[in-house]
């Protein structure tokens, strides 16, 4: 039988106290709903249906890159009503798995087990909690067979003592949904059409209902407020850190690591505390990332050291480079092998050649730099004239003295030399020395200002 998946994502999430639809709040840099979609896709369904309501246009726009049948639920009348909206698009011979757009941590293996249990009838994912308050309880007969689900608000005091709960995740043949959902009523405290009511109807019709057990409470935790969002975030980060460590990555403190995208690492990688990785980041073998670094959409080759407090975005870094501390590499920066970027250096759209060094307090923007170049402290490329950006070309084995100003457009040819304190506005030829500064004067007998004679 084909598998089709329905994801319920129509809720407003008023407890989030946010204008953003609940399912678009992020965990690990991705919307809650995207996590659920990714897990669903891993099951290789023949079709994926997402039921949206509040903020439906915003939700669809945010996830437009996915192949999804979007179903709008104009009135939110309960989970059973939501699934009913998707039923007309579902093939009769499918098994249907129902997921929730605010439950992002359910494991693929758990869902595979649930689907396998639903080939001949409904199967429900359950969990046993120490504190089941707020959850629907699983009702079983004397033989242990499931006979129904009662919501917390509708349960008796005796039923509230039960600790096995309904997670809401359910699978069944499409024919079962088509048979039982139209018969679900809304005679309950909420006045809603509950999806789990099909369990009771199936049992009454002589069908047996299977159940699977979630591995942990966190696996089925839904996000209803920002406290739960933080719980899910920390569990997600713990899982990522654990997987990296199993792959051989050394992490100074797994509780102080944030991955907001994807992180791929080679062998013998070390990550210090409070490192943040955004977008797609790749670290080669032997890379070390210091404390309090932020790397966004960065590729770092083998043997490179990123020193503490560095912020790197949209850069490509070669082998055996050194970056930081307190460096900022902006988009378009490319470091060739062995390049060095030191403390309080900023680069942007800069190609830094093999073995070249920009070690202190400098800005290099819109620049192509050859190999073996040394840029002295306090040097800047003046790449913006107030209207347009201009480029600086620096050849091989160029030396630029400290506190120099390179006014683009500018070319410094191979082995050019710029004296410290110079403002350079015209081409420096090969093996030429550029000096552009006022002559020093020493005034003898000069009297230093004296405050003793001042009225102030």
- The pLDDT tens digits for 327-344 are 999 999 999 999 999 999
What's the distance, CA 442 to chain centroid?
60
pLDDT at 224: 92
Which ranges in 65-107 belong to alpha helices (H)? 79-86
- The residues assigned a catalytic role are 360
Residue 305: helix, strand or coil by DSSP?
Answer: strand
Residues 296 and 313 sit within 8 Å (Cβ to Cβ): yes
Q: What share of the chain is helix, strand, coil (3-state, %, to 5)?
A: 20, 30, 45
Beta bridge partners, 30, equal 27
Give the model's confidence band at 434: pLDDT under 50 very low, under 70 low, under 90 confident, else very high.
very high
The H or E element spanning position 237 is helix 226-246
pLDDT at 455: 60
Give the model's confidence band at 217: pLDDT under 50 very low, under 70 low, under 90 confident, else very high.
confident
Edge-to-edge strands of the sheet including 433-434? 250-251, 270-271, 288-289, 305-306, 322-323, 340-343, 357-360, 374-375, 399-400, 417-418, 433-434
pLDDT at 40: 98
* Pair type for strands 316-317 and 334-335: parallel
Tokens of 212: 């699977």
Strands (DSSP E) contained in 158-269 are 164-173, 210-213, 250-251, 257-265
Write the CA distances from 435 to 5, 120, 420, 421, 439, integer angstroms.
Answer: 71, 86, 8, 8, 11
More confident residue, 382 or 446: 382
Tokens of 428: 């420096």
pLDDT at residue 454 greater than cutoff 70: no
Rounded average pLDDT over 58-67? 96
Rounded average pLDDT over 391-408? 98
Q: In order of start, what are the domains of the chain with their CATH numbers?
A: 2-220 (3.90.550.10), 226-434 (2.160.10.10)
pTM score of the predicted model:
0.89
């Amino acid at each position: 039988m084909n598998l089709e998946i329905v994801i319920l994502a129509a809720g407003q999430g008023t407890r989030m106290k946010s204008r953003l639809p609940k399912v678009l709040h992020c965990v690990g840099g991705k919307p809650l709903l995207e996590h659920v979609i990714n897990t669903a896709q891993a099951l290789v369904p023949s079709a994926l249906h997402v039921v949206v309501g509040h903020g439906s246009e915003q939700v669809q726009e945010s996830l437009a890159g996915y192949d999804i049948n979007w179903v709008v639920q104009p009135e939110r009348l309960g989970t059973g009503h939501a699934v009913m909206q998707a039923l007309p698009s579902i093939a009769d011979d499918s098994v249907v798995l129902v997921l929730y757009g605010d439950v992002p941590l359910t494991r693929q293996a758990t869902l595979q087990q649930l689907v396998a249990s639903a080939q001949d009838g409904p199967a429900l994912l359950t969990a046993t909690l120490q504190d089941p308050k707020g959850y629907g309880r699983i009702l079983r007969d004397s033989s242990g067979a499931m006979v129904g689900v009662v919501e917390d608000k509708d349960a008796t005091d005796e039923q509230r003592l039960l600790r096995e709960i309904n997670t809401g995740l359910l699978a069944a043949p499409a024919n079962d949904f088509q048979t039982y959902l139209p018969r679900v009523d809304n005679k309950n405290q909420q006045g809603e059409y509950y999806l789990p009511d099909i369990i009771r109807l199936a049992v009454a019709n002589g069908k047996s209902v299977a159940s699977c057990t979630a591995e942990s409470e966190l696996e089925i935790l839904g996000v209803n407020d920002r406290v739960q969002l933080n719980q899910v975030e920390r569990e997600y980060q713990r899982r990522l850190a654990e997987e990296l460590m199993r792959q051989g990555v050394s992490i100074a403190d797994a509780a102080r690591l944030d991955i907001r995208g994807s992180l791929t690492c080679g062998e013998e990688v070390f990550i210090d505390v409070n490192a943040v990785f955004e977008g797609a980041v790749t670290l080669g073998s032997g890379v070390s990332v210091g404390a309090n670094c932020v790397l966004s959409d960065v590729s770092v080759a083998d043997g490179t050291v990123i020193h503490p407090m560095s912020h790197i975005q949209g850069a490509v870094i070669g082998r055996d480079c050194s970056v930081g501390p307190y460096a900022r590499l902006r988009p378009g920066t490319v470091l060739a092998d062995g390049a060095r970027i030191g403390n309080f250096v900023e680069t942007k759209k800069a190609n830094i050649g093999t073995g070249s060094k920009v070690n202190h307090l400098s800005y290099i923007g819109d620049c192509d730099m050859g190999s073996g170049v040394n840029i002295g402290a306090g040097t800047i490329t003046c790449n913006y004239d107030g209207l347009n950006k201009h480029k600086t070309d620096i050849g091989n084995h160029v030396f630029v003295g400290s506190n120099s100003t390179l006014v683009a457009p500018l070319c410094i040819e191979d082995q050019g030399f710029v004296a410290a304190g110079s403002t350079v506005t015209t081409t420096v030829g090969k093996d030429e020395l550029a000096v552009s500064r006022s002559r020093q004067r020493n005034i003898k007998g000069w009297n230093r200002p004296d405050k003793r004679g001042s009225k102030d």
